[in-house]
Structure formats: C-alpha cells, structure tokens
Structure 1
Amino acid sequence: MANSPSGDSMLDRLVRILDSFDAQTPSLSVSSLARRAQIPKASMYRLLDDLEGHGLLAKDKNGQVSLGLRLWELANRSAATVGLRKVALPFMEDINQLLGQNTQLSMLHEDEVLIIERLSRPGAVVNQASVAGRMPVHRTSMGMALLAFSRPEVIHGFLERHRDLMNATHPHFRAEMAEIRRNGFASMDGYIDVESTGAAAPILDDSGYQLAVLSVVVPRDSGLLQPAAMALRTASRGISRALGYYRER
C-alpha cells in the first residue's frame, strides 16, 4: 500500500487509527483521534471521509468518531471464532443457567486474553470481561488456564517477554502450571475484584493443547467454585468433542 508523505504506509496509518479506540474510549474527537494515531489533523480529516464512506468509522452529530458497524460485520466472519462461538454457545447457556453467573469464552491473543463471547446474568457478581475486550494473562483464571495448556514454545515465549512480571506475580509459576494441568482448571481469588473468584477450563485439541477457554466469575467464599469447575470441565470437553478435536486421554 502506498506510503504517506511522512514515510509510513497507509496501512500503518489505518491500523493506528483503529487501535486508537478501546473499551475506555469508544469515541473520540477528530483532534484526539489524530493525536492518538500520530497523524496530522488535516490528513486525519481526509482519511476520516474515506473510512466513514466504507463504514469502518462513524461520526455522530457532535463530531465524535467511533468504530463503524462494518468492522463488527467483518469481525463476525472470522473463521477463527465463528465455528467455536456457534458450538460453544449452547454449553455456555447451560452454565449460565446452572450457576446464575456471567460466562465467558476467550482465546490467547498477542499475550493477552481476548474475550470472544460473554453471556450476562442479572444479579451476577461484578465481572470486568467484555466482548472484544482484553484482560491480562497473569491476573485472570482465563489467562492462567490458557497458558498452562499452551504448547511449550508458547509458554517459553511468553515468559521470555514477561519474565519480570511473572516472577513478581507468580513466583511459583511452574508449580501453578502443574497444578492447573493436574486439576484441569484454573481459579484465582480477588485479582481483579476482591469479592470474586474466577474459574476457567480449557477447550483442548487432540494433542491436549488449548484452543480457547471457558470461564465464570463467582462470589468469593460462596461455595460455587467446585460446582463451577466441574461444570466448566464438562462443558469444555463437550465443546472439544463437538468441534471434532477431543478424544479420551
């Protein structure tokens, strides 16, 4: 793709524009967007017209810019998630009904936990996960379960990039990984919200490595952790079988 006068490609600029939005800032003024994307304001106005015309960005009556519905449409065609979400949803609905708590489906992506589906529940404990949102690996049961059941080279690479962080937060990392693999699920108390406990079980392929993870957040000391772990493990095995990956080990 052709370069801009500053030397960066138009694709680089497009990615920086789209990356400027997050859960905390779903909309921005043109000036703020230009500043975040490191693009001159005059150029930003020209790019905005093109992106708005293709439905990739949208601008409201107050001039605030947000991501366009076209992006949502394209993202929901992703081959990596469409089949998984379709198969997982009935199992997620069962857990949602059984436990009365919010239920998430997540994947490991770019050293973070990416939430690809979430079922809410009225009256459920506070849960910070949101669809298309990202959460830290080291502070979530989702992340630790995904890491524990990752291929060795994935674990090694993650540790190389985040060794100081993991040494500080998980000084007994290898023992934790072994326990999660032995139990078939991960649980963490109060890392995100002090009054909750997260539980997560991996969805595995034929080799025993994670494809994704199924999780819930339950009230701390509620007695729901063990029933949640059992339900998650059962559902995760069911999803693996339905995807054609799981065989008894």
Structure 2
Amino acid sequence: MANSPSGDSMLDRLVRILDSFDAKTQSLSVSVLARRADIPVASMYRLLDSLVEHDLLSRDASGQVRLGLRLWELANRSAATQDLRTAALPFMEDINQLLRQNTQLSVLHQDEVLIIERLSRPGSVVNQANVAGRMPVHRTSMGMALLAFSRPEAIRDYLSRHQAIMAATYPDFRAEMAEIRRTGYATFDGFIDPETTGVAAPILDDAGYQVAVISVVLPRQTRAVQSAGLALRTAARGISRALQPGGSA
C-alpha cells in the first residue's frame, strides 16, 4: 500500500489505529486516537472518514470513535477460531453448569493470552477475562497451562524474551512447568484478583501440544480446585477429540 509523507504505509497506519483500542479503552476522541496511533490529527480525520464509511470504525454523536461491526464480522469468519469455538462450546456449557462460574476459552497469541470465548454466569466471582481481551501469560493459570504444553522451542523463545519477569515470578520455573504437566492443569491464587483462584486445562493436538485452553475462576477459599481441574481436564480432552477430523462433541 502507498506510503504516507512520513514514510509509513497505509497498512501500518491502519494497524496502529486498530491497536489503539483494547478491552478497557473501547472509545476514543479523534485527538487521543491520533496521538495513540502516532498520526497527525488532520490525517486522522481524513482516514477516519474512509474507515467509518467501510464500517471498520464508527463515530457517535459526541464524536467518540469505536471499532466498527465489520471487524467483528471479519474476525468471526476465521476458520480456525470458528472451528475451535464450535468444538468447545458444548463442553464449556457443561463446565459452566457444573461449576457455576464464568468459563473461558483462550489461545496463546503474540506472547499473551487472547480470550476468544466466555460463558458468563450470574453470581459468579470477579473475572477479568473478556472476549477479545488479552491477559499476561505469567500471571494467569490460562497462560501457564498454555506455556507448559507448548513445544520446547516455543518455551525457550518465550523465556528468552521474558527472562527477567519469569525469573522474578517463578524462582523454580522448571518445577512449576513439571507440576502443571503432571496434573494436566494449572492453578494460581490471587495473581489477577486477590479473592479468586484460576484453574485452566490445555486443549492438546495429536502430538500433545497446546492449541487452546479452557478455564474457570473460582472463589479463592473454595475446596473445589482439584475437582474443577479434573473436570476441565476431561472437558479439554473432549474438545481435543472434537477437533480431530471426523471428531464430534
């Protein structure tokens, strides 16, 4: 795509604009969006007209800018995500009914946990996971379950990029990984919220490496952590089978 006067491509600018939004920042003024995307305000106004016209962004009566519905449509056409969600939803519903807590489906993407589905539950504990939101690997049971069952080279690469923070959080990282692999699920108390415990089990491919993770967040003082882990592990195996050619939920 053609470069702007500053030398960056139009595609670069579009990506920076879309990346300016996150789960906690769902609307922005044009001036703030321009600053976050590092685009001159005058250029931002010109780009905004085209993006609104194509429904990639929307603008309300007050001038605030949001992501457009067309992005949601495009994201939901992703074959890989669609197949995973379709296979996982029956098992997520079972876990949601059994444990009576919000249930998440997530993947490891760009060194973060990306939430791709969540089933809510009235009366459940505080849960920071939102669909399309991202969470840190080292502070979530989801992330650590995904990391523990990643390919060895992927683990090495991740550690090379985050060596300091992982060493500070897990003095004995190898033992942590070994325990998660032994039990088949990860649990962490109060890393994101002091009153909760996260429990997560990886969904594995034929070679035994993660493709996603199913998880719940429980009250921290519950005695149901082990039973939740076993239930999630069973659900994860069911999802793995459903993802195989000819598999069914």
Q: Is the pair's TM-score, using the shorter chain for normalization, greater than 0.5?
A: yes
In structure 2, the residue matched to 1:189 is: 189
SS at match of 1:228: helix
SS at match of 2:25: coil
Q: Percent identity, aligned pairs only? A: 76
Separation of aligned partners in 2, 1:187 and 1:127: 15
Separation of aligned partners in 1, 2:80 and 2:43: 34
SS at match of 2:199: strand
Range 91-100 or range 215-224, more displaced: 215-224
Separation of aligned partners in 2, 1:25 and 1:214: 26
Deviation by residue 1:147-202 (Cα, 9 ceiling, x = unmatched) = 00000011000000000000000111010001100110000011011111110000
How many residue pairs get aligned? The number is 247
In structure 1, the residue matched to 2:42 is: 42
In structure 1, the residue matched to 2:13 is: 13
Structure 2 unaligned runs (5+)?
Answer: none
In structure 2, the residue matched to 1:118 is: 118
Separation of aligned partners in 2, 1:97 and 1:41: 49
Separation of aligned partners in 2, 1:30 and 1:191: 35
In structure 2, the residue matched to 1:80 is: 80
Please report how far the alpha carbon of residue 222 of structure 1 lies from its aligned counterpart in structure 2 after TM superposition.
1.2
Q: How does 1:126-145 map to 2 (within 5 A)?
A: 126-145=126-145
In structure 2, the residue matched to 1:27 is: 27
Please report how far the alpha carbon of residue 224 of structure 1 lies from its aligned counterpart in structure 2 after TM superposition.
1.4
Give the root-mean-square deviation of aligned CA atoms. 1.2
SS at match of 1:217: strand
Moved over 2 A (4+): none
Separation of aligned partners in 2, 1:25 and 1:222: 33
Instruction: Tell me the TM-score normalized by structure 1.
Output: 0.97
Residue type matched to 1:85 in 2? R
In structure 2, the residue matched to 1:105 is: 105
Deviation by residue 1:65-101 (Cα, 9 ceiling, x = unmatched) = 0000000000001122100001100100000000100
Q: How does 1:143-182 map to 2 (within 5 A)?
A: 143-182=143-182
Separation of aligned partners in 2, 1:48 and 1:200: 40
Instruction: Tell me the TM-score normalized by structure 2.
Output: 0.97
Range 221-230 or range 137-146, more displaced: 221-230
Range 139-148 or range 74-83, more displaced: 74-83
Residue type matched to 1:186 in 2? A
